[in-house]
Amino acid sequence: MSNEFPLRKIIHVDMDAFYASVEQLDNPELRGKPIAVGGSSDRGVVSAASYEARKYGVRSAMSSVLAKRNCPDLIFVRARFDRYKEISKQIRSIFYEYTDLVEPLSLDEAYLDVTVNKKGNPSATLIAKEIRARILQETGLNASAGISINKFIAKVASDINKPNGQKTVNPEEVVSFLEELEIRKFYGVGKVTAEKMYRLGIFTGNDLKSKTEGFLEEHFGKSGSYYYNVVRGIHNSPVKPHRIPKSVGAERTFNENLSSEIFMLERLEHITNELEKRLKKSNIAGKTVTLKIKYSDFTLNTRSKTLPYFISDQKLILETAKELLYQEKLQNSVRLLGISLANLNTEKKERTKEVKEVVSVQLKFEF
């Protein structure tokens, strides 16, 4: 074990069915019942499902129509984001009692680096247990946790004993854990990538490990080297306490699907106005404009263009977005349009040296 290798103790905390659990907490009548947070209209989408609803195959991001078909007794509850934010704040303040290195991924998920922590507790496993107990005590909600040497493994591990459980992958277990892991459980491998992996004969971490970096880059582009490294336990991304946004965007879902580009231009104007407001508020400009098109069958298409200079002006963004809209023929009628700006002037080019070393396990490292 070389001294440069940053062996860390990372916890990924993830609330269980967060929005749905909050609704069941606040409204006892909903407890034990299949509920979905989201709109019940024809155009509604489920943003969270209770575990009772998941038994019927109701999932987040599913259309409400399909959810109702899967589970006829499903109860739809309107989202109350202010309430979720309030609880999220409560949870974060618990995290900060242990470490300032907290990186929220969303309202209900965060990474914590507890290698050095305010309680002087050498065991990340026990810290995770304590944090989950505190969350339950103070909010009445269950959380799960994953504990390991990097963010990637912690994130994957938090799913394993969910709900209301935790899983530690100790340094000496990392290699076998990753080798045995099903490819669809790798964080960053979505449905489409998983299918591509299957076609290449990659079903487990072990299969992935047998491929060269060149092979993976050839088939998966930049992500190839990410896959090559994570399966070897290499993921040096630090827990970033102050999240600098990578992109700023605005989008709109329409009441009726649009099939004419003329109507879409009008909507793009509204969206770029909204986007400009957001950019001005934080004094942000960016170089890459991305147009997101969600079709009525829910398939997603994104088109991007990178300019040689920073822009934040509504007219310039709109001009680029128009160009992207006309770049390709539309496949179907459109239910949502979004525009985002990335490659922001706020991004500091971090020059963290990537330490490339395979995890070795000789060191006694208390977890």
Quick check: helix, strand or coil at residue 28? helix
Contact 150, 238 (CB under 8 A): no
List the x/- string, 49-88, binding to Mg ion by CB under 5 A. Answer: ----------------------------------------
Q: State the DSSP code for 45.
A: B
The CB-of-18 to Mg ion minimum distance in angstroms stands at 5
Cα–Cα distance measured from residue 7 to residue 102, given in angstroms and rounded to the nearest whole number: 17
User: Which residue, 68 or 162, has its beta carbon nearer to Mg ion?
Assistant: 162
DSSP 102-145: EEEEETTEEEEE-SS-TT----HHHHHHHHHHHHHHHHS--EEE
Contact segment (CB under 5 A) with Mg ion among 9-17, 90-98, 199-207, 255-263 equals 9-17
User: Which residue, 15 or 339, has its beta carbon nearer to Mg ion?
Assistant: 15
**Residue 254 CB-density burial (10 A; 0-12 exposed, 13-18 middle, 19+ buried):** middle
Contact segment (CB under 5 A) with Mg ion among 6-14, 243-251, 290-298, 333-341 equals 6-14
Pairing outcome for strands 286-295 and 75-77: unpaired
User: Which residue, 15 or 289, has its beta carbon nearer to Mg ion?
Assistant: 15
User: Which residue, 108 or 276, has its beta carbon nearer to Mg ion?
Assistant: 108
User: Which residue, 84 or 228, has its beta carbon nearer to Mg ion?
Assistant: 84
Q: Is 108 annotated as a binding residue?
A: yes
Q: By CB under 5 A, what part of segment 224-253 binds Mg ion?
A: none
User: Which residue, 151 or 335, has its beta carbon nearer to Mg ion?
Assistant: 151
**Cβ partners under 8 Å of residue 313, min gap 6:** 276
| Residue 362 vs residues 123, 124, 332: alpha-carbon distances, Å | 18, 19, 57
Q: By CB under 5 A, what part of segment 10-29 binds Mg ion?
A: 14-15, 18
The CB-of-37 to Mg ion minimum distance in angstroms stands at 12
48 near Mg ion, rule: CB under 5 A: no
Q: For Cα atoms 21, 117, 166, give the angle at the middle one, nearest 5 degrees.
A: 35
The CB-of-193 to Mg ion minimum distance in angstroms stands at 22
Contact 242, 340 (CB under 8 A): no
How many Å is the Cα radius of gyration of the chain? Answer: 22
Q: Is 297 annotated as a binding residue?
A: no
The CB-of-19 to Mg ion minimum distance in angstroms stands at 9
The CB-of-174 to Mg ion minimum distance in angstroms stands at 24
Contact segment (CB under 5 A) with Mg ion among 7-15, 52-60, 123-131, 327-335 equals 7-15
Contact 201, 207 (CB under 8 A): yes
List the x/- string, 99-138, binding to Mg ion by CB under 5 A. Answer: ---------x------------------------------
Contact segment (CB under 5 A) with Mg ion among 8-16, 179-187, 225-233, 309-317 equals 8-16
Cα–Cα distance measured from residue 185 to residue 160, given in angstroms and rounded to the nearest whole number: 10
Residue 344 tokens, joined: 């922001």
Establish whether 195 is a catalytic residue. Answer: no
The CB-of-104 to Mg ion minimum distance in angstroms stands at 12
Query: Pick the catalytic residue: 23, 52, 103, 109?
Result: 109
Task: Assign 3-state DSSP to the chain and report helix, strand, coil percentages, each to 5.
Answer: 40, 25, 40
Cα–Cα distance measured from residue 329 to residue 49, given in angstroms and rounded to the nearest whole number: 36
Catalytic positions are 109
The annotated binding site for Mg(2+) is made up of 14, 108
The annotated binding site is made up of 14, 108
Q: Which residues bind Mg ion (CB under 5 A)?
A: 14-15, 18, 108
